[in-house]
Amino acid sequence: MPVQAAAVAALGLLLTGLLAHRWLPSAEDGVNRALAAHRTPLATALTDGASLLAGTGSVITLAPLCAAALLLAPHVPRWREAAFLVVAVAVAAQSAGFLLVALVVERERPDVPHMDPAPPTSSFPSGHVGASVAFFGGPAVLASRRLHGVWRRVVMTLLLVIPLLVAASRVYRGMHHPSDVAGGMVNGACTPALVKAALLPHPGKESAKPVPVPSPPTHTQHPAGCRGAPSARV
């Protein structure tokens, strides 16, 4: 986790330092201004819902519900998977990395009208995008382990498309630059990957069952003089 925070912070310092006066920041400002100039009521309503879905209140509410559903699942409670969701998805680890990076990187938000209240944190990385990647990426990891066939592809696609919609909504609403949401995706994706490696065993190891070892055959020895015992030859 410290290596993850350091890498994301280095990317943010690169954007605000060496690349501050290069082509990338100016191109990003053009994207934000173009979207702000073409806002529509429908797009505004849709992006408002996407931002609300990735808000702190929504994530804190939905993550424990998903973990409880895993614990109450029939047959076998999935303790490891529930712990994975709580640690990786409930923003405990992801928000810690976000706050550490925001303390180091100080980047102003786009110079366009903001459609949401701006918290007193750096624009890089996007906390909403990081939370959405961690929140919806966690169930996508579990779906890849438990589902098969068409259902696996459908569920994983739906879960992974939502963070992309959240990223587009944050840029559209003037809250982040495109590189801010890219940094949020990197920061949010690393957390489930690290927690998965720590808490979830490999599916092959988890499903493998020990093969019973056959016991060696036992030979019955008949004492001398018993009925049925082989006769001794002279």
Summarised one tens digit per residue, pLDDT across range 125-155 is: 888 888 888 888 878 888 887 788 898 899 9
Closest CA to 125 of 189, 75, 198: 189
Please tell me the predicted confidence (pLDDT) of residue 85: 72
Please tell me the predicted confidence (pLDDT) of residue 221: 52
Average pLDDT over residues 69-73: 72
pLDDT tens by residue, 152-171: 899 999 988 999 999 999 99
- Interior/surface letters 213-230, b for 16+ CB within 10 angstroms, e for the rest: eeeeeeeeeeeeeeeeee
Average pLDDT over residues 203-213: 50
- Amino acid making up residue 39: R
Look up residue 90 and give its two tokens: 């409930």
Please give the torsion angle defined by the CA atoms of residues 118, 166, 188 and 54, in that order, rounded to the nearest 10 degrees: 70
Average pLDDT over residues 77-90: 69
Of residues 133 and 18, more confidence is placed in 133
As a three-state string, the secondary structure of the chain is: CHHHHHHHHHHHHHHHCCCCCCHHHHHHHHHHHHHHHCCCHHHHHHHHHHHHHCCHHHHHHHHHHHHHHHHCCCCCCCHHHHHHHHHHHCCHHHHHHHHHHHHHCCCCCCCCCCCCCCCCCCCCCCHHHHHHHHHHHHHHHHHHHHCCHHHHHHHHHHHHHHHHHHHHHHHHCCCCCHHHHHHHHHHHHHHHHHHHHHHCCCHHHHHCCCCCCCCCCCCCCCCCCCCCCCCCCC
Please tell me the predicted confidence (pLDDT) of residue 219: 52
Please tell me the predicted confidence (pLDDT) of residue 208: 45
Give the length of the chain. Answer: 234
Task: Give CA 231 to chain center in angstroms.
Answer: 76
- Are 183 and 126 a contacting pair, CB within 8 Å? yes
Distance between start and end Cα atoms, the chain: 82
Task: Give CA 79 to chain center in angstroms.
Answer: 18
What proportion of the chain, given as a percentage, has pLDDT over 90? 18
Average pLDDT over residues 18-40: 84
Average pLDDT over residues 166-177: 93
> What radius of gyration do the chain's Cα atoms show?
28
Q: What's the mean pLDDT when you consider all of the chain?
A: 77
The pTM (predicted TM-score) of the whole model is: 0.73
Average pLDDT over residues 93-99: 62
